[in-house]
Amino acid sequence: MVRCPSCGEDEALRGRRCDDGVEVTCESCGTRWTRVPGASCDRCGSTEVWVGLRALVERSRGTQLSIVGTVDVTMCWHCDRAVLEEHARRTDNRLLMPSVMPNVSGDHPAPGSPS
């Protein structure tokens, strides 16, 4: 995922190809930077990353969860090791599941809060 280094925005970004990679402009704060293609960790800069899919889930009926889509994720083997090791132990599903599941009303509670 690409994030603005100044304000953290990850959606209102515009990019155009240049000789060095991609020139990215944050439409929220106006910051411009050049991003070199290739997956790397936003936090530590490591190129030892896993690129995969995270499931997007909703409650469809009662307590039943339904996968309604996926989103691309890049996770670092240094910063996200515990999550990646847990995912590697699971053999039933190749999708990374969300860390916070929707509660019965469909809202997404904050991590650690009761649902």
- Predicted TM-score (pTM) of the model is 0.49
Q: How many whole angstroms separate alpha carbon 115 and alpha carbon 113?
A: 6
Q: Is the pLDDT of residue 108 over 60?
A: no
Q: Could you tell me where the DSSP H helices lie in the chain?
A: 81-89
Q: What is the pLDDT of residues 48-93, one digit of tens each?
A: 888 778 889 888 877 788 889 988 888 888 999 888 888 877 756 6
**Do residues 75 and 84 touch, judged by C-beta distance below 8 A?**
yes
One-letter identity of residue 68: V
**Do residues 53 and 71 touch, judged by C-beta distance below 8 A?**
yes
Domain borders along the chain are: 1-37, 39-101
**Which of 79, 7, 4 is closest to 40 using CA atoms?**
79
Q: How many whole angstroms separate alpha carbon 72 and alpha carbon 103?
A: 23
Q: Is the pLDDT of residue 111 over 60?
A: no
- Residues near 62 by beta carbon (within 8 Å), at least 6 away in sequence: 104
Q: What's the mean pLDDT in 99-109?
A: 62
